[in-house]
Structure 1
Amino acid sequence: MSEELLVDQARQCSALFRLGRDVEAALVMIEVAEQVQSRVGGADSQIAARWMALLTGMLDSQERQDWLALADYLEYELVDLLMAVNSA
Protein backbone atom coordinates (compact mmCIF):
# COMPACT_ATOMS: atom_id res chain seq x y z
CA MET A 1 0.00 0.00 0.00
CA SER A 2 1.39 3.40 -0.95
CA GLU A 3 1.99 6.07 1.66
CA GLU A 4 -0.75 8.22 0.15
CA LEU A 5 -3.30 5.40 0.43
CA LEU A 6 -2.22 4.68 3.99
CA VAL A 7 -2.62 8.35 4.95
CA ASP A 8 -6.07 8.37 3.33
CA GLN A 9 -7.04 5.23 5.22
CA ALA A 10 -5.85 6.74 8.52
CA ARG A 11 -7.91 9.87 7.86
CA GLN A 12 -10.95 7.77 6.92
CA CYS A 13 -10.55 5.85 10.17
CA SER A 14 -10.31 9.13 12.06
CA ALA A 15 -13.55 10.33 10.47
CA LEU A 16 -15.31 7.11 11.47
CA PHE A 17 -14.27 7.59 15.10
CA ARG A 18 -15.48 11.20 14.99
CA LEU A 19 -18.85 10.00 13.68
CA GLY A 20 -19.19 7.52 16.55
CA ARG A 21 -18.78 4.48 14.32
CA ASP A 22 -16.21 3.01 16.68
CA VAL A 23 -16.63 -0.68 15.80
CA GLU A 24 -16.12 -0.08 12.10
CA ALA A 25 -13.28 2.35 12.82
CA ALA A 26 -11.54 -0.14 15.11
CA LEU A 27 -11.42 -2.69 12.29
CA VAL A 28 -9.90 -0.14 9.93
CA MET A 29 -7.46 0.93 12.65
CA ILE A 30 -6.12 -2.64 12.88
CA GLU A 31 -5.40 -2.64 9.14
CA VAL A 32 -3.72 0.75 9.37
CA ALA A 33 -1.60 -0.31 12.36
CA GLU A 34 -0.44 -3.46 10.55
CA GLN A 35 0.62 -1.41 7.52
CA VAL A 36 2.42 1.15 9.68
CA GLN A 37 4.19 -1.60 11.60
CA SER A 38 5.51 -3.10 8.37
CA ARG A 39 6.81 0.32 7.26
CA VAL A 40 8.37 1.19 10.61
CA GLY A 41 10.08 -2.20 10.83
CA GLY A 42 12.90 -1.01 8.58
CA ALA A 43 13.12 2.51 9.99
CA ASP A 44 15.65 3.85 12.47
CA SER A 45 15.23 3.41 16.21
CA GLN A 46 13.99 6.97 16.79
CA ILE A 47 11.06 6.47 14.40
CA ALA A 48 10.36 3.04 15.89
CA ALA A 49 10.25 4.63 19.36
CA ARG A 50 7.86 7.32 18.10
CA TRP A 51 5.63 4.60 16.66
CA MET A 52 5.57 2.68 19.93
CA ALA A 53 4.70 5.83 21.89
CA LEU A 54 1.99 6.72 19.38
CA LEU A 55 0.55 3.21 19.39
CA THR A 56 0.51 3.21 23.20
CA GLY A 57 -1.40 6.49 23.21
CA MET A 58 -3.84 5.23 20.59
CA LEU A 59 -4.55 2.03 22.49
CA ASP A 60 -4.93 3.96 25.74
CA SER A 61 -7.48 6.26 24.09
CA GLN A 62 -9.31 3.26 22.69
CA GLU A 63 -9.42 1.61 26.11
CA ARG A 64 -10.87 4.81 27.63
CA GLN A 65 -13.29 5.06 24.68
CA ASP A 66 -11.98 8.55 23.99
CA TRP A 67 -12.82 8.49 20.30
CA LEU A 68 -11.93 12.13 19.66
CA ALA A 69 -8.42 11.74 21.06
CA LEU A 70 -7.99 8.56 19.04
CA ALA A 71 -9.21 10.36 15.92
CA ASP A 72 -6.66 13.12 16.55
CA TYR A 73 -3.85 10.57 16.88
CA LEU A 74 -4.86 9.00 13.57
CA GLU A 75 -5.38 12.21 11.66
CA TYR A 76 -2.39 14.22 12.89
CA GLU A 77 0.23 12.24 14.81
CA LEU A 78 0.14 9.15 12.61
CA VAL A 79 0.25 11.17 9.39
CA ASP A 80 3.26 13.08 10.76
CA LEU A 81 4.98 9.79 11.61
CA LEU A 82 4.34 8.42 8.12
CA MET A 83 5.89 11.54 6.61
CA ALA A 84 8.96 11.02 8.82
CA VAL A 85 9.23 7.39 7.71
CA ASN A 86 9.00 8.44 4.07
CA SER A 87 11.71 11.08 4.43
CA ALA A 88 14.07 8.80 6.39
Structure 2
Amino acid sequence: MTAMKKCIGECRQCAGLFRLGRDVEAALSMVDVFEGAQQLLLSGSADVQQRWAQVLSQMFDCQERHDWLGLADYMEYELIGLLESVPA
Protein backbone atom coordinates (compact mmCIF):
# COMPACT_ATOMS: atom_id res chain seq x y z
CA MET A 1 0.00 0.00 0.00
CA THR A 2 1.33 3.42 -0.93
CA ALA A 3 1.69 6.24 1.58
CA MET A 4 -1.05 8.12 -0.27
CA LYS A 5 -3.55 5.25 -0.05
CA LYS A 6 -2.68 4.74 3.61
CA CYS A 7 -3.26 8.41 4.37
CA ILE A 8 -6.56 8.45 2.49
CA GLY A 9 -7.70 5.37 4.42
CA GLU A 10 -6.73 7.05 7.69
CA CYS A 11 -8.72 10.17 6.69
CA ARG A 12 -11.81 8.06 6.09
CA GLN A 13 -11.35 6.16 9.34
CA CYS A 14 -10.89 9.36 11.35
CA ALA A 15 -13.91 10.98 9.69
CA GLY A 16 -15.94 7.90 10.61
CA LEU A 17 -14.93 8.26 14.25
CA PHE A 18 -16.10 11.88 14.25
CA ARG A 19 -19.41 10.82 12.69
CA LEU A 20 -19.88 8.22 15.43
CA GLY A 21 -19.39 10.86 18.11
CA ARG A 22 -16.04 9.45 19.20
CA ASP A 23 -14.47 12.91 19.06
CA VAL A 24 -11.69 12.33 21.63
CA GLU A 25 -10.43 9.22 19.85
CA ALA A 26 -10.83 10.93 16.47
CA ALA A 27 -8.96 14.06 17.61
CA LEU A 28 -6.00 11.94 18.67
CA SER A 29 -6.02 10.15 15.32
CA MET A 30 -6.41 13.46 13.50
CA VAL A 31 -2.96 14.62 14.64
CA ASP A 32 -1.32 11.65 12.89
CA VAL A 33 -3.52 12.06 9.82
CA PHE A 34 -2.57 15.73 9.48
CA GLU A 35 1.13 14.97 9.88
CA GLY A 36 0.96 12.34 7.14
CA ALA A 37 -1.07 14.59 4.86
CA GLN A 38 1.38 17.45 5.41
CA GLN A 39 4.29 15.29 4.28
CA LEU A 40 2.44 14.21 1.14
CA LEU A 41 1.17 17.68 0.29
CA LEU A 42 4.60 19.30 0.58
CA SER A 43 5.44 17.70 -2.75
CA GLY A 44 2.47 19.41 -4.38
CA SER A 45 2.37 22.72 -6.22
CA ALA A 46 2.13 26.09 -4.52
CA ASP A 47 -1.62 26.05 -5.29
CA VAL A 48 -2.01 22.68 -3.53
CA GLN A 49 -0.10 23.95 -0.52
CA GLN A 50 -2.26 27.08 -0.37
CA ARG A 51 -5.44 24.98 -0.58
CA TRP A 52 -4.05 22.72 2.18
CA ALA A 53 -3.60 25.76 4.43
CA GLN A 54 -7.20 26.84 3.74
CA VAL A 55 -8.66 23.38 4.34
CA LEU A 56 -6.61 22.97 7.51
CA SER A 57 -7.86 26.33 8.79
CA GLN A 58 -11.47 25.36 8.06
CA MET A 59 -11.03 22.02 9.84
CA PHE A 60 -9.59 23.75 12.91
CA ASP A 61 -12.56 26.16 12.87
CA CYS A 62 -14.89 23.15 12.89
CA GLN A 63 -12.95 21.65 15.76
CA GLU A 64 -13.22 24.88 17.80
CA ARG A 65 -17.00 24.92 17.25
CA HIS A 66 -17.25 21.21 18.10
CA ASP A 67 -18.77 20.71 14.64
CA TRP A 68 -17.70 17.08 14.33
CA LEU A 69 -19.84 16.36 11.28
CA GLY A 70 -18.43 19.38 9.46
CA LEU A 71 -14.92 18.32 10.37
CA ALA A 72 -15.65 14.79 9.14
CA ASP A 73 -16.90 16.17 5.83
CA TYR A 74 -13.78 18.30 5.36
CA MET A 75 -11.57 15.31 6.11
CA GLU A 76 -13.43 12.86 3.92
CA TYR A 77 -14.10 15.08 0.93
CA GLU A 78 -11.90 18.18 0.83
CA LEU A 79 -8.72 16.68 2.29
CA ILE A 80 -8.98 13.44 0.33
CA GLY A 81 -9.68 15.40 -2.87
CA LEU A 82 -6.63 17.51 -2.20
CA LEU A 83 -4.47 14.45 -1.56
CA GLU A 84 -5.72 12.86 -4.78
CA SER A 85 -4.75 15.98 -6.74
CA VAL A 86 -1.05 15.49 -5.90
CA PRO A 87 0.76 13.48 -8.59
CA ALA A 88 2.18 10.21 -7.36
Provide TM-score, normalisation by structure 1: 0.93
Q: Which residue identity is paired with 1:60? A: D
* Residue 20, structure 1, aligned to residue 21, structure 2: yes
Q: Distance in 2 between matches of 1:8 and 1:48?
A: 21
Q: Distance in 2 between matches of 1:18 and 1:60?
A: 17
Paired residue for 2:3? Answer: 2
Paired residue for 1:36? Answer: 37
Moved over 3 A (4+): none
Q: How far off its partner does 1:42 sit? A: 2.3
Q: How far off its partner does 1:86 sit? A: 3.0
Question: 5 Å matches for 1:9-88?
Answer: 9-86=10-87
Q: What runs of 5+ residues in structure 2 fail to find an aligned partner?
A: none
Q: Distance in 2 between matches of 1:74 and 1:42?
A: 19
Aligned Cα root-mean-square deviation (Å): 1.1
Q: What runs of 5+ residues in structure 1 fail to find an aligned partner?
A: none
Cα distance per residue 1:20-46 (max 9 Å; x no partner): 000100011110100111112222110
Aligned residues: 87
Provide TM-score, normalisation by structure 2: 0.93
Contact 2:17 2:26 (8 Å CA) reproduced = yes
Q: Which residue identity is paired with 2:86? A: V
Cα distance per residue 1:3-57 (max 9 Å; x no partner): 1111110000000000000010001111010011111222211000000000000
